[in-house]
Amino acid sequence: MTLIKSISGIRGTIGGHVGDNLTPIDAVKFAAAYGVWLKQQRDKDTYKVVVGRDARISGAMIQNLVMNTLVGLGIDVVDLGLSTTPTVEMAVPMEHADGGIILTASHNPKQWNALKLLNAKGEFLDGAEGAKILEIAESDSMSFADVDSLGKITKNKAYIDLHIIEVLDLPLVTVPAIEEARFKVVVDGVNSTGGIAVPLLLERLGVEVVKLYCEPNGEFPHNPEPLKEHLTDLSAEVRKHNADFGIVVDPDVDRLAFMDENGEMFGEEYTLVACADYVLSKTPGNTVSNMSSTRALRDVTEKHGGTYEASAVGEVNVVKLMKENKVVIGGEGNGGIIYPESHYGRDALVGIALFLSLLAEKGISVSDLRKTYPNYFMSKKKIELTPGLDVDGILKAIENRYQKEELTTIDGVKIDFSDSWVHLRKSNTEPIIRIYTEAKSQQEADLLADKFIEEIGAIAKS
């Protein structure tokens, strides 16, 4: 089964059987359920939803289905066309809309797509709201508009530009200093909307841009998750062009990773660490990331006199804790920067601008910048779920086995050892168990992950 209904939205592979995959019927059903839920929130004469998509091949088909379903409910639609997740998030309040839908499966390969659902603030729905929409989808209570009450679709292609203007206007984005530094950067847009938005931002900052895979045709040239093993072409281009560094984003531009001038990964986990270091140096305060993120953020936060706290995995969980703690910056270790001064959503464009401001201020290379941060190493592995596998039972067994260690169970099981940690959890976005570990060396992190994969296998067989 490759239709996943979770806190991260409705995600699945294109084609196949209704209810098992993201078929046209499933897209219509869940779009309709969202529209019905939206109308239940406030009794109004008119409703408006902002819709945008990444460049994956199925995007136009799914977007037309979703938009016309909303029209059938009597809801007006603002069609952003090819866009980014953070752009849609910002467009919702700017349009005074009631909600938004982003059609993207983020880092998943091209056969996947998804409906990411937003509230009137342009923020992801919480678990209770998502559960209500799933309940509506399975009910017979959906009622559509009559012919005189159908919604209308309005196209607006200006929002990527408006998003960039908002980023450039942030007080900590030092545009003159970045222009003076005369950076040269290679951008891997994975043939999606990052290929549109990232070069536009960089050019506005006076950065010389070398484009790699920036044609938004949805033909991903490599696995779109921005990990080292997928980025050999970017590494070669950075060295070939003698660039200051490389940038890669995922297809919907909410994850961000850097590559140094030698073609080596800066470390996806360290995107947030570097941006937080810069923000905290100007506006001291607290930080939040999810519990699968590096300890380095805690170290940098405490260096600046702040307090760090970890949330359950999932952007909505991070944002909730950020608001409770009134943090100045937060996000996720997968390269997701959430900067409240801009908006409460992961935003690669904001991350790029903050990172460039930091580099311009320090006047050092990206590799030298990386040396200024605590050195932790992570291993990110996974186990494919098979029918009948009792994930909850396995995690409970692990919890019992390690009950004398420091445990956190708000999201799977996280075990903190003195100089390492492991986090085991069922993914919100794929039919897998994720095994994340961190230690003082890559070998130790990999060995720790392999040890727990073996333990899980043994428990599953017992």
Q: Which residues are catalytic?
A: 106
How far is Cα of residue 105 from the mean position of the Cα atoms in its chain? 10
Residue 449 buriedness (CB in 10 A; 0-12 / 13-18 / 19+) = buried
Q: How far apart are CA 166 and CA 17, in angstroms?
A: 43
Q: Which helix (H) or strand (E) holds 212?
A: strand 208-212
DSSP 236-292: HHHHHTT-SEEEEE-TTS--EEEE-TTS-B--HHHHHHHHHHHHHHHS---EEEETT
Residue 221 buriedness (CB in 10 A; 0-12 / 13-18 / 19+) = middle
Maximum distance among all Cα pairs of the chain, rounded to whole angstroms: 66
| Residues in the chain, overall count | 462
Q: Is the dihedral of CA 224, 229, 235, 237 positive or negative?
A: negative
How far is Cα of residue 161 from the mean position of the Cα atoms in its chain? 21
Q: How far apart are CA 24 and CA 138, in angstroms?
A: 16
Is residue 365 left, alpha or beta, with left meaning phi > 0 and alpha meaning psi from -120 to 50? beta
8 Å CB contact between 75 and 83: no
Q: How far apart are CA 202 and CA 353, in angstroms?
A: 8
Q: How far apart are CA 314 and CA 429, in angstroms?
A: 10
Q: How far apart are CA 425 and CA 427, in angstroms?
A: 6
Both tokens of 170, joined, read 């942030």
Residue appearing with tokens 């490599």: 222
Q: Residue 253 to residues 82, 83, 190: CA-CA distances in angstroms?
A: 12, 9, 10
